[in-house]
Structure 1
Amino acid sequence: MSIVNGTLHTSPEHGLSIPIRAAAAYGGLDLNFAQGFVAYQTNKTPEFLAKFPQGKVPAFEGPNGFYLTETIAIARYVSSFAKNVNLLGSTPEQAAHVDQWLFFGATEINPPMSRVVGPLNGTVPYFKPIDVSVREQLSKSLAYVNNHLQTRTFLVTDRITLADIVLTTILRRYFVRLTGEAERAKIPNVVRFVETVANHPKLKPIFGEVTYPEKAEQYVPPAKEAKPKAPAAAAAAAAPKPKAPKPADDDEDEPLVPAEPKAKNPLDDLPKSNFNLEDWKRAYSNMDTRGSGGSIEWFYDKFDHEGFSVWKVQFKYNEELTQVFMSSNQIGGFFNRLEASRKYLFGSVGVLGAANDSVIAGVLILRGQDVKPVVDVAPDWESYEYKKLDLSNPEDKSYFEAALAWDLEVGGKKWADGKNFK
């Protein structure tokens, strides 16, 4: 395996680096990652900004003062070293078609997809006419790709090119959230294309599993808080209302179609626990968090490790976050969509950092040992990463307590705002 001469400044797991890492993997190239790089921190240092004034990540530093930003530009540069696989095409015509599809993905797929996802994440306001228009635009673009792939396995040649890698990177994010069974049925060639590229033996470790939702994710407005009733109205509402006289024919009261029995939640079948989640919520609300006699002390005294578990939760797409208040609203929207799991769940999640440089992180306390049955009631649950915490581990314990106390700090970013799910 040959080494690309230069240093890639990014964390290996950063989403925007996927096309670069995939191109290198497919071409049998080894990338040098900058040692000790911390996302949203290293790229703010004077040393980094002296080389890359915009502070954009990923960034590439080559020999002789060669500096390069923008994911696709870096991916093209890396691909140029993979001579044996022709990621950029082997003729001028093929190279032009590769560029054509790179621009198509960047202009016709990614922008409308981001406009749809933004309101779902709570990072931009939702306007139904815009959402409908953008989804239609996205559907037309995907229909064009589907038609192009009617007689082709890949976009340009009979082998994978950078165009296939970049478009698959973009589409994976689309499929995970915005294409249900009905939408996928209209673009079978696109589905086959994404699965073919993402499951290539050299690329699967980078792309991971391709998952599909049953239904496309739709915007759900936050629940409105009930306004307190005026005294007179409250008294009137509290007064008993006269019952309507019962019809002589009792048969009229029977429903035409028997009501379906309410589905039982499998979490209700778990063995009984001595830890009462509602008592914890009251303790957290009414006690100081830290210190003797605080809610954290109460928690450790009563917690049942077998019946409940504690999880770290972090938003996957922090690069999309802008204003702190919008990110906080996004947390509120996520919590609203978890309403069906309220009796199984407690959460303390916050926005850490400042405008255009923040992350969403926190903790969940939930019934059972598996996070999915509790959180998958929210359509956007897969937009977050979940990691089970071991409270006997000092690092995990410190993270847990800081999230409860709203003084959690991650990567130098301090708690700016937060919400609780109680």
Structure 2
Amino acid sequence: MTLIIHSVKQSKNVYKALIAAEYVGVEIKVVDDFEMGVSNKTPEFLKMNPIGKVPVLETPDGPIFESNAIARYVARGSFLFGSSPIEYGQIEQWIDFSAFEFDLNIRGWYIPRLGYGNYIKPVEENCISGLKRGLDALNKYLASHTFLVGDGITLADIITTCNMFMAFKLLTPKSFTSRVGEFKQTEAVIPLSSAKKTEAKPKPEPKKEVKKKEALKPEVKAAEEEEAPKPKPKNPLDLLPPSKMVLDDWKRLYSNTKSNFREVAIKGFWDMFDPEGYSLWFCDYKYNDENTVSFVTMNKVGGFLQRMDLARKYAFTHHIL
């Protein structure tokens, strides 16, 4: 049976249950057209949660409210709760840690800034201080651990990440981003595949109809049967007028010059350079404060080059890290 969540869809508290459901193969649907201040004030909703807070999970055995309780219900009995009593205790430990050190302080920081509460500077400073303390502790722990508990994803990782969602979305001063190096390293961890996808049953193949034997037909040449290959999409850069500079000559000179680089390669470049056919550009990466982990930074460079494949024949670039 599909479980139903009553809440707005774009909410980190809803994401906790949805992500857990993807890992364990539970079907969850978020109700459509949910409107805060209206849908959560109806008699039907107040029967599920008397104080009208979201999210609420509707199950065959009754409703559950509070986001962490909902995520626990979805993940019950699965690997997301660990494989031993000590792992279970540590998972609960990190869930509480992220609730009090992250979620509480992040909400105390951004809710008044959005105009939904009274702004009191000492309270904000206390929230920022508490968040930094929690980040420093988590960063230190993640320097020697890939996951919060054990050797794989657990509910602790899911809930902690969701509790940090609004901080990454709304709070971006350097005093914050400079403290999340090890935490952001988790971007490079390969995610597990969805249990829903792995458990999907193959569609039954339709029964093949038995055709009556037909009289033999004369063979048709294979060349006539095969479709003509589709033309490759054109590279718009191929339409540029030809240049006097042969870029491949420069690339070979650059690669093969092992000594006196400035005198040989650089001089050779200026001798070849055609200002009517090419231009020179200097680009600075906007978010260098995020480049704290070397292999993550290298992955970004590799991804950039993969997306520039059409320009490979017409461009030369040198990246400096």
Instruction: Give the TM-score normalised by structure 1.
Output: 0.42
- Matching residue's letter, 1:68: I
For 2:44, which of 29, 44, 47 is the aligned residue? Answer: 47
- Matching residue's letter, 2:22: A
Change (3 A) 1:143 1:95: same
Change (3 A) 1:127 1:34: closer
Match for residue 76 of structure 1?
72
Q: Per-residue deviation at 1:11? A: 4.0
- Matching residue's letter, 2:73: Y
SS at match of 2:69: helix
Report the Cα distance in structure 2 between the residues aligned to 1:108 and 1:201, rounded to whole angstroms.
27
SS at match of 2:178: helix
Report the Cα distance in structure 2 between the residues aligned to 1:50 and 1:126, rounded to whole angstroms.
34
Q: Per-residue deviation at 1:46? A: 1.2
Report the Cα distance in structure 1 between the residues aligned to 2:102 and 2:153, rounded to whole angstroms.
19
SS at match of 2:164: helix
Note the aligned Cα RMSD (angstroms).
2.4
For 2:149, which of 142, 148, 156 is the aligned residue? Answer: 156
State yes or no: 1:110 paired with 2:108.
no
Report the Cα distance in structure 1 between the residues aligned to 2:176 and 2:30, rounded to whole angstroms.
38
Question: Once the two structures are superposed, what CA deviation does each residue of 1:196-235 show, in whole Å capped at 9, x if it has no partner?
Answer: 57x73758xxxxxxxxxxxxxxxxxxxxxxxxxxxxxxxx
- Matching residue's letter, 1:87: L
- Percent identity of equivalent pairs: 32
Q: Which has the higher helix share?
A: 2
Question: Contact 2:6–2:30 at 8 Å: present in 1 too?
Answer: yes
Report the Cα distance in structure 2 between the residues aligned to 1:152 and 1:87, rounded to whole angstroms.
17
Question: Contact 2:81–2:91 at 8 Å: present in 1 too?
Answer: yes
- The structure whose Rg is larger is 2
Change (3 A) 1:187 1:47: closer
Change (3 A) 1:154 1:60: same
Match for residue 231 of structure 1?
none
Paired positions, count: 194
For 1:23, which of 10, 16, 20 is the aligned residue? Answer: 20
Match for residue 173 of structure 2?
180
State yes or no: 1:200 paired with 2:191.
yes
Q: Per-residue deviation at 1:130? A: 2.9
SS at match of 2:81: coil
Question: Once the two structures are superposed, what CA deviation does each residue of 1:240-280 show, in whole Å capped at 9, x if it has no partner?
Answer: xxxxxxxxxxxxxxxxxxxxxxxxxxxxxxxxxxxxxxxxx
Change (3 A) 1:11 1:151: same
Q: Which has the higher contact order (CA 8 A, sep 6+)?
A: 2
Q: Which has the higher strand share?
A: 1
- Matching residue's letter, 1:163: A
Match for residue 288 of structure 2?
none
State yes or no: 1:121 paired with 2:114.
yes
SS at match of 1:99: helix
Question: Contact 1:184–1:191 at 8 Å: present in 2 too?
Answer: no
Gaps of 5+ in 1: 204-422
Question: Contact 2:132–2:179 at 8 Å: present in 1 too?
Answer: no
